[in-house]
Amino acid sequence: MRIIGISGSPRAGGNTDIILQEALTAPRKEGSEVKLMRISDYRLEPCSACSACFTSKKCVIKDDCEKIYQEMLKADGVILGSPSYFQGGNGSNEDFHRQNRFPRTG
């Protein structure tokens, strides 16, 4: 089994990373392959609201979001972690979620 944790925090080693590492401890102990990915380690562009994803079912933005998405496809489970800023997520997390609302084909 393969489980990945995706941290949306811009702070390496911050609370979000600590909580995700803890969440990945049990699957690791049970023999699962685990991986922690940090959105801030990748280049993500904001959604341009071009609406191409509604017709083509894929994002036209050429950034690193596809790399993260491919890791998600290989995983049996995904744990998403986000800091809470004023009762909402941060910008990097929002960009990532907007670009992954449709399955990608390439």
Query: Token pair 């401890």 is at which residue?
Result: 25
How many independent structural domains does the chain possess?
A: 1
106 in a domain, yes or no?
no
104 in a domain, yes or no?
no
12 in a domain, yes or no?
yes
As a whole number of angstroms, the distance between CA 18 and CA 20 comes to 5
With a threshold of 0.95, does the pTM exceed it? Answer: no
Which amino acid belongs to residue 5?
A: G
pLDDT score, position 106: 46
- Looking at residue 31, which CATH number applies to its domain? 3.40.50.360
Which amino acid belongs to residue 21?
A: Q
As a whole number of angstroms, the distance between CA 83 and CA 47 comes to 20
pLDDT score, position 65: 83
pLDDT along the chain (106 residues), means of 10: 94 93 96 95 85 79 86 93 77 67 51
**Would you say how long the chain is, in residues?**
106
Give the range of the structural domain holding residue 78, as residue numbers without chain letter: 2-99
